[in-house]
Amino acid sequence: MIAAAVAILRKDLKVEVRTRESVPAMVLFSVTVFVLFHFGLDRDTLEGDIATGVIWVTLLLAALLGINRLYVAERDQGGFTGIRLAPIDTTALWLAKAAALFIYLVALELVALPAFDLLLLGPGLDGALPELLAVLLLANLGLAAVGALISALAIETRARDLIVPLLLLPLLVPVIIAAAQATEPLLSAGQSPDDLAKWLGFLALYDVVFVLVSIAVFDFLLDD
Amino acid sequence: MTSVLFGKRLGTLAWITAAFMLAAMALVFFYAPEDADQGFRQKIFYVHVPMAIVTLFGFMAAGIFAIKHLRSGDRSWDVRSYVAIHLSIMLGVGVLATGAIWAKTAWGHWWVWEEPVLVSYLIVFLLYCCYQPLRFSIADPERQSRYASVFAITAGAFVPLNFAAVRLAEQYTHPRVLSETGGNMPGDMRVTFLVCIVAMALLFTTLWKLELTNKHTSEQLKRLRRRLEAQT
pLDDT tens, A72-118?
888 888 888 888 888 888 899 999 999 999 999 999 999 999 999 88
Partners of residue A223 in chain B, C-beta under 8 Å: 146
Q: What's the whole-number mean pLDDT along residues A39-65?
A: 90
| pLDDT above 90 coverage of chain A, percent | 51
pLDDT of residue B173: 42
Nearest CA in chain A to B126: A170
Provide ipTM, 2 decimals: 0.86
Q: List the single range of A55-69, A72-86, B70-84, B183-197 with lowest mean pLDDT.
A: B183-197
pLDDT of residue A137: 94
A177 contacts chain B (CB < 8 A): yes
B97 contacts chain A (CB < 8 A): no
Instruction: Report d(CA B135, CA B147) in Å as an integer.
Output: 7
Q: Do B134 and A156 touch (CB under 8 A)?
A: no
pLDDT of residue B175: 47
Higher pLDDT, B35 or A119: A119
Ordered by start, the domain boundaries in chain A are 2-222
Residue B35, beta-bridge partner list: B39
Q: Do A216 and B134 touch (CB under 8 A)?
A: no
From B127, B133, B150, residue closest to A220, measured CB to CB: B150
Query: How would residue A191 be classed by pLDDT, with cut points 50, 70 and 90?
Result: low
Sign of CA dihedral A111, A112, A118, A122: negative
Phi and psi at residue B35, to the nearest 5°:
-65, 140
Residues 6+ apart with CB under 8 A from B100: B110, B111
B157 contacts chain A (CB < 8 A): yes
Check pLDDT > 50 for residue A197: yes
d(CA B221, nearest CA chain A) in Å: 29
At residue A121, the 3 state secondary structure works out as strand
Check pLDDT > 90 for residue B37: no
Partners of residue A213 in chain B, C-beta under 8 Å: 153-154, 157
Q: At what angle do helices A129-154 and B141-169 cross, to 10 degrees?
A: 160
Check pLDDT > 90 for residue A198: no
Residues 6+ apart with CB under 8 A from A198: B168
Cα dist. A182→A113, A122, A202 in Å?
Answer: 16, 18, 10
* Cα pseudo-dihedral B139, B142, B145, B149, rounded to 10: -120
A223 contacts chain B (CB < 8 A): yes
Partners of residue B138 in chain A, C-beta under 8 Å: 156-158
pLDDT in tens, B118-158: 888 999 999 999 999 999 888 888 889 999 999 999 999 99
Partners of residue B70 in chain A, C-beta under 8 Å: 217, 220
Instruction: Report d(CA A43, CA A62) in Å as an integer.
Output: 22
pLDDT of residue B174: 44
Query: How would residue B206 be classed by pLDDT, with cut points 50, 70 and 90?
Result: very high
- Which own/partner contact pairs does A121-127 have at CB distance under 8 Å and 24+ positions apart? A121/A45, A121/A46, A121/A47, A121/A51, A121/A187, A122/A45, A122/A46, A122/A47, A122/A51, A122/A189, A123/A47, A123/A187, A123/A188, A123/A189
Q: Do B130 and A220 touch (CB under 8 A)?
A: no
Q: Do B151 and A213 touch (CB under 8 A)?
A: no
Query: How would residue A214 be classed by pLDDT, with cut points 50, 70 and 90?
Result: very high
Q: Do A171 and B127 touch (CB under 8 A)?
A: yes
pTM here is 0.86
For chain A, what's the residue count? 224
Mean pLDDT, chain A, integer: 89
Check pLDDT > 60 for residue A30: yes
Query: How would residue A136 be classed by pLDDT, with cut points 50, 70 and 90?
Result: very high
pLDDT of residue B36: 67
For chain B, what's the residue count? 232
| pLDDT above 70 coverage of chain A, percent | 97
Q: Which residues of B135-145 are buried (b: 16+ CB within 10 A; e: fewer)?
A: bebbeeeebbb
Query: How would residue B9 be classed by pLDDT, with cut points 50, 70 and 90?
Result: confident
d(CA A143, nearest CA chain B) in Å: 14
Q: Do A174 and B138 touch (CB under 8 A)?
A: no
A194 contacts chain B (CB < 8 A): no
Check pLDDT > 50 for residue B112: yes
Q: Do A205 and B133 touch (CB under 8 A)?
A: no
Query: How would residue B180 be classed by pLDDT, with cut points 50, 70 and 90?
Result: very low
Name the H helices within B108-140: 116-129, 131-136
A174 contacts chain B (CB < 8 A): yes
Check pLDDT > 90 for residue B54: yes
Partners of residue A150 in chain B, C-beta under 8 Å: 154
Q: What's the whole-number mean pLDDT along residues A54-60?
A: 94
Instruction: Report d(CA A119, CA A123) in Å as an integer.
Output: 12
Selected residues 56-75 of chain B with any CB under 8 Å from a CB in chain A: 70
